[in-house]
Chains A and B, each alone.
Chain A
Amino acid sequence: MTTTVLDPTAEQRPATRERSQRPESLSGLTVGLLDISKPRGDVFLDRVEEALCALGARVTRYAKPTFTKPAPVDLRHEIATQCDAVIEALAD
């Protein structure tokens, strides 16, 4: 008599990927600031924007409709086509 044990899990491991290539500096590049729309995150990003501008970067601001869900695909597409790098804040 043989016993078959079934696995309740996904039985899969994600393929490991590398981070995308980084630029040497942010000077002259467009950095997107994505606000997840949790309270206080905008204040944090205001200061980050000041600091990035002081480093010579251009800053474009975006906001998710809600922090409880991933950003809509249209917003992700917009950021990807308009920005050279992105900072998302602030999850707590």
Chain B
Amino acid sequence: MHDIDDLERRGVPGVYVASDTFTDAAALQAAALGLDVAGVFVAHPIQDRTDDEMAGLADEAIDALVAALTAS
């Protein structure tokens, strides 16, 4: 999130992806940084997923990712 915050400071729209167990941590970190950093959360866990399951998570996230980066 520090990376996205820094890139936003440089004028680059950014969004991070995290697993949904980090929703509250992300909110706290964003508050500390002073920027409502855009984030998209995918279903936890991640480390034991198959490639197909990972692709499925990406498919589910893509609309939210595009929305987070665009004005429309």
Contact = CB atoms under 8 A, between A and B. Distances in A.
Q: Do chains A and B touch in the complex (CB under 8 A)?
A: yes
Interface of A: 13-26, 31-32, 34, 38-41, 43-48, 51-52, 55, 64, 70-71, 76-77, 79-80, 83-92
- The 3 A-B pairs with the shortest beta carbon distances in the complex, nearest first, are A14-B34, A47-B58, A89-B17
A51 B16 contact: no
A25 B27 CA distance: 26
Given A71-B3, A85-B12, A90-B42, A43 B35 contact: no
Contacts, number: 140
18 contacts: A16-B35, A17-B9, A19-B13, A19-B35, A23-B70, A32-B12, A43-B51, A47-B54, A51-B59, A51-B62, A64-B3, A76-B3, A76-B7, A80-B10, A85-B12, A86-B7, A92-B21, A92-B44
Query: Most A CB atoms within 10 A — which of B14, B35, B61?
Result: B14
Interface in B44-63: 44-47, 49, 51, 54-55, 57-59, 61-62
A71 B46 CA distance: 21
The residue in B10, B12, B45, B72 that gathers the most chain A C-beta atoms within 10 A of its C-beta is B12
Contacts of B6: 70-71, 76
Contacts of A15: 34
B33 to A, nearest CB: 6
B42 to A, nearest CB: 7
A92 B15 contact: no
Nearest to A14: B34
